[in-house]
Structure 1
Amino acid sequence: MVKYREILRQRAMGISIRNIAFSCGCSTATVVTVVDRAKARGLEWPLPEEMNDAAIRAVIYPREPKSDASKAEIDHERVDREMERPGVTLMVLWSEYCDAALASGKEPYMYSAFCQRHRKWAMANKVAMHIERKPAQEMQVDYVGDAMGVLDLDTGELLKVYVFAACLPYSGELYAEGFYDMKEESWVEAHVHAFSFYGGSVPIIVPDNLKQGVAKNTVEELVVNEQYRRMAEHYGCAIVPARPRKPRDKGAIEMGVRVIEQRAMAPLRDRVFTSLAQLNGALMEKVREINARPFQKRDGSRDEVFIRQEKPLLVPLPGKPYEMVTRKTATVNFNYHVAFGGSRYSVPFSYVKREVEVCATKSAVWIACDGERIAMHGRLRGPKGSYSTNPGHMPDSHRDFAEWDGNRFRRWAGEIGPSCEAVVDGILKSRKIEQQSYRSCRGVLALAKKHGKEMLEQACAKALSYSPRPSYKTVKSIASKMAESVPEDPDDGAYLRGSGYYQNLDQEDAEGDDE
């Protein structure tokens, strides 16, 4: 029970807020609220003896008049829960509330009254501290909950794109970029691109506790992933993750994510993108529009506040952007190439079947064997299956690998049919160095074991009708779809019979013998 009378008495004596709170067993916030409300209501010490705590409370906290019984009640707890979901706004919830109210035969509140009552409920049921932000002090980062998509023209598959978002809390300046995955390399690269976009770095990065960045975050210990820590050191930053299950610690990016979902991603939902670069170009165009849009409740825009007050205070970028080094062990293939990141890189042919270590940054790939570097390449960023071949790594003659030559692949394909031979010939000619196409040729010919020669020939013929030089992916996709759609009726052209067919024949023969 709050000691209202004692609080007002001690305050009239000039005792400090902190000491009053200690003496009356309440918080300093309660003391401040009671004193302010009493002053607003004209209550001053000394008070009449009959005016006890209950009477004082009735004066400083008067009961609100009851709402019109004909109005439909607002489920504030539901509204609060739904507002946490991506893309949900008060306008959407008000529309749903109106539908439910009319269905129950009651009159709904107008939109302005709906918002006013919910904000009043939220203020009474939630306590949030306003934090004054300083310019160029921190960058908050997170992934957007919803994903976008890129259409793969070869397979027709819609590839998921995960959107990284960054925000400078003082100005609200936003940055967004899509990646095919949420792995550590993409996470670190996104930070590098964000710093480049802002034109400087900040002393503090505030991420969520996702595993790509933070290995452990407890009261006793904070462990940041090694690559993430090195990136932060490179830019002179400190990683200060938000507390677990405390989204208000990074409220700026939480709001920024919602804005990006509603104003950048939602308008692009019906557009078809065929490359990640195309998607990111459209996404950043929308984000720039958001940054340039004037504020609703204060002067200027995100861009204006950022350029005038925040950008001059950013930490200058280092001479070179941070490059993350990724390592893996691989075995050199028969065509003297090693696979890394969906692409293949050549090494001297004498290392065939040897185990090597592949190291890669964003821009370069190098291969080492027994601690000695044996090859260096630029990092490939094209479609999967791309080759980087150094002519110096090739043998003078492929006598040791004579069985793997173009003529033999053409001969094998010719045994299946002319369409298959044409497909293999097109694949062999699609590469500047013929050996780079051998893997795709083997993949096409291997489909004969899975689907049969006749079906492979039909798939190749159909692929040739689409393109004079179809890829292995195209043939494989067509063959798989043809196999799924093979009819069971022999009259429809199918020659495959299930076990039930022969069981029926055995039964008919037995009935014939009985006759």
Structure 2
Amino acid sequence: RRTGISRNSVRKYLAMLLPASDADSPALSNQDLADKAYNNDQLEHDALRMEQLSQHFKSCQSELSKTGVTRQLLWQEYMGLYPDGYSYSRYCYHLKLYLKNSDVSMHLEYQPADIIMIDFAGKKQHYVDVPTGECIECQVFVAILPYSGLIFCKAVHSQQTADFTTCINSMLKYYAGVPATILCDNLKTAVIRPSRYEPVFTDICYQLSEHYATTFSAARPYSPRDKAMVERAVSIVYAHVYAPLRHEEFTSLATLNEAMTRQLYLLNNKPYKNTAYSRWYFYDKHEHGLLRPLPSEPFGPKKVVVLTVQRNYHVQLSEDHLYYSVPYQHVGKKVKVLYDNRVVEVYLNTDRIALHIRKPHSKAYTTLADHMPPHHQRMQTIKGWNKEELLLQANSIGTATLQAATLMLENSIYIEQNYKACFGMLMLQKKYTKQRLEAACNRALQGTRVNYTMIRNILERGLDKQIIVPENDTSIPLHDNIRGKDHYQ
């Protein structure tokens, strides 16, 4: 009656233990009693089968992840090795226990302001478009600072690039700072190629990283526990934001976000269980001051195109048919061009090689002098001269150079050609010195005309170094044998 065992079962156990109940016999241990009460041979058999099953599980654990491999197939292979093995139901039961015990979790400690985890909730919100009566579903972006647990959420129309950047801007504005790392799931907007060790991110993530001076990181594929905090945050948002709003109807995305923000404020100010401190308390006390400051302006996404640098060391944006220069050394190379309404940036691999202010209504070519080869820079310099500047530079060399420059500038009706010739003459000073150029101009002035070629030839042949000897006076002296005007009538 005390044990709840039938009378016949008690008699059976007593019969097993009766031979060892003599007063002279030593007291039996619990293990000895168990061996006598149960069929020990069966226990040994079960222990052997369990050992065989454990060995089988070690070899087949990785097989389950392979295409087409099922528990049924693994059990059939197990029975082929051990015909006296467990039935299929017991096999699945022990396999479940084995996987649970071998797949343990690690508790992670987070540092203040070190990381923000982001994700899109699986369940959507919605609002009703009044003119059409259509129910429009919305994605919900969720983020959390793991150290303090401060949660952020925002409804957007999609997970596309424009909405994704809107969410990142709003999130960082809400947190009033930037963490060292932003950890995301392998969503297509953020990750091009998932990888356990080196994922490849989209251009928008690299742009965001550069603008906010942070870095993006991705969770391992198929490993939700890498971002367990944000997974838990999604569940909290379901309970504290979705549920209280379930009976309300919204007529726009803005009104939906306003209502979600109110619930979010209540959630973040709600004290943790069995404490007097809320998420906002830990954020203000431990994290806010450690976050990096926000830039002066929110991020604006840039369009990205890959172009080839043309022979004139420019790239053309087909959107407005304007050309922007890059250093001439990169002619023929493929470059990545990032642009928005304000700037145009040109990257070769990861190095920015050109930056221009974008002016959609400016002239067709925007060229920086530093991007031009040396001889093009000289041509550009020539185009920039005017008559007054050239004469001022000639006067600094000498009087003869000034006279020669004046004559050259008045040489023909093609003003630009005159500027080029005069500029070329002045540049001869770099090769032959100012003194020799002044002497060459002085010699050239003795002739009937002055031009660039004449002065250059004088310098090349060293004629400027020769002393000019004045010619003898050959005028006819006065005498009587002079015919007057009357002689020719």
**TM-score calculated relative to the size of structure 1:** 0.41
**TM-score calculated relative to the size of structure 2:** 0.43
